[in-house]
Amino acid sequence: MLTPTALARAEAHTAHNYHPLPVVITEGEGAWVTDVDGRRYLDFLAGYSALNFGHRHPALIAAAHAQLDRLTLTSRAFVHDQFAAFCQELAELCGKDMVLPMNTGAEAVETAIKVARKWGYQVKGVADQQAEIIVAADNFHGRTTTIVSFSTDPEARADFGPYTPGFKIVPYGDLAAVQDAITPNTVAVLMEPIQGESGVLVPPPGFFAGVRELCDANNVLMIADEVQSGLGRTGATFALDHEGVIPDMYVLGKALGGGIVPVSAVAANTDVLGVLKPGEHGSTFGGNPLACAVGVEVVRLLATGEFQRRSAELGVRLHDGLNALVGKGVTAVRGRGLWAGVDFDPALMTGREACERLAERGVLAKDTHGSTIRLAPPLVITADELDHGVAQLAAIL
């Protein structure tokens, strides 16, 4: 058995900022991974949606290989031949004028915050240093010092102060609270269309349509953090599509890199992203040739609509299977498309225990708060594979 030795080595030389399951993966293909001892697992997490297209999707691997043989990095000090196609095609997918590429989801959120503040000062006319952004309780937008400043999760926030000011926290899904929080200094409302880290929480119907109306009425930017929820995960290109709502800014990441390289971006119209001038924001690796080559192929896969349809159709199958377990050890199921939060009876098991038992049966998932687990299988999963995963969940009850 190679797993115990590999785990011990990692434990000895790694900062303990994660508590992974005792699985050491060495290969992956489609919806499956293999560990160092040759055991196969069905991946029901897909890298928190970073692997929406599965492990080593042939088109994405081919794009990466082709670019690796040509050029990998120039920095934004120069222009490379993959940049224009990536920005143009992603902007078209989003229905926006412009794209600002970064690397990680947290960087993209930070970019959106900076742009919203600058827009507030230069366009809306907010007094210097007075800009406010409304966010939701139980959010997860990343782990930078600014982002954890408006987190309500003690594990993410405690002992990392002093905290960045300028944020108002309201209950998620409470439209009246959003309205009450808006002042002349409000420059943006930043929220996840579905809260993933909190257990795949879906807002009440009409909530985001109401947020859109409030933003329009008060000259406030609406920013949708679609890092986890976007790019096909919920059965539509963006989770807000289900609400018929278009934000002023999309924050994208995870699946945009195809599970190969970290790629993120902010997409908005010229009247918003146009406030940035040379030297005011950037990244050495943001928009690099390898990232753009993979990102272009991701956008082209999404442009076919195939993955959105698969998520919508198989999502019905997933939720039907999970809802059949309610009252049999499962207390609640939430989500949309191929994305679900599953609550277990706390007297039966914790979320961590559920994931450990699933791993023993060859299925990988991730626990979140208390007795909740998150399921986000890759969009390439087959109906039979999906049924197999749900059957293993039923078996651990």
Query: 61-88: per-residue pLDDT in tens?
Result: 999 999 999 999 999 999 999 999 999 9
What is the model's pLDDT at position 277?
A: 97
Contact 379, 54 (CB under 8 A): yes
Query: Which structure tokens are listed for 23?
Result: 């699985």
What is the model's pLDDT at position 35?
A: 98
What is the model's pLDDT at position 70?
A: 98
Instruction: Determine the average pLDDT of the residues in 296-316.
Output: 98
Domains, the chain, in order of start with CATH, read 1-41 (no CATH), 59-303 (3.40.640.10)
Q: Residue 264 — pLDDT band, cuts 50, 70, 90?
A: very high
Residue 186 φ/ψ, nearest 5 degrees: -75, 125
Is residue 225 among the annotated active site residues? Answer: yes
Q: Residue 310 — pLDDT band, cuts 50, 70, 90?
A: very high
Catalytic pick among 96, 118, 168, 254: 254
Instruction: Determine the average pLDDT of the residues in 298-323.
Output: 98
What is the model's pLDDT at position 160?
A: 98
Q: What is the mean pLDDT of the chain?
A: 98
What share of the chain has pLDDT > 70, as a percent? 100
Q: Residue 347 — pLDDT band, cuts 50, 70, 90?
A: very high
Q: Residue 200 — pLDDT band, cuts 50, 70, 90?
A: very high
What is the model's pLDDT at position 329?
A: 98
Residue 198's Cβ-count burial label (10 Å; 0-12, 13-18, 19+) is buried
The radius of gyration of the chain from alpha carbons, rounded to an integer in Å, stands at: 21
Catalytic pick among 225, 248, 343, 367: 225
Is residue 277 among the annotated active site residues? Answer: no
Nearest residue to 339 via CA among 141, 105, 49: 49
Is this prediction's pTM over 0.85? yes
327: left (phi over 0), alpha (psi -120 to 50) or beta: left
Report in angstroms the alpha-carbon separations of 232 from 261, 282, 365, 397: 18, 28, 19, 30
What is the model's pLDDT at position 17?
A: 94
Catalytic pick among 53, 83, 86, 140: 140
Tokens 């995960």 belong to residue? 233
Q: Residue 178 — pLDDT band, cuts 50, 70, 90?
A: very high
Instruction: Determine the average pLDDT of the residues in 16-20.
Output: 94
What is the model's pLDDT at position 304?
A: 98
What is the model's pLDDT at position 395?
A: 98
Q: Give every strand in the sheet of 363-364, ordered side by side.
A: 25-29, 32-35, 40-43, 363-364
Question: 126-173 pLDDT, tens per residue?
Answer: 999 999 999 999 999 999 999 999 999 999 999 999 999 999 999 999
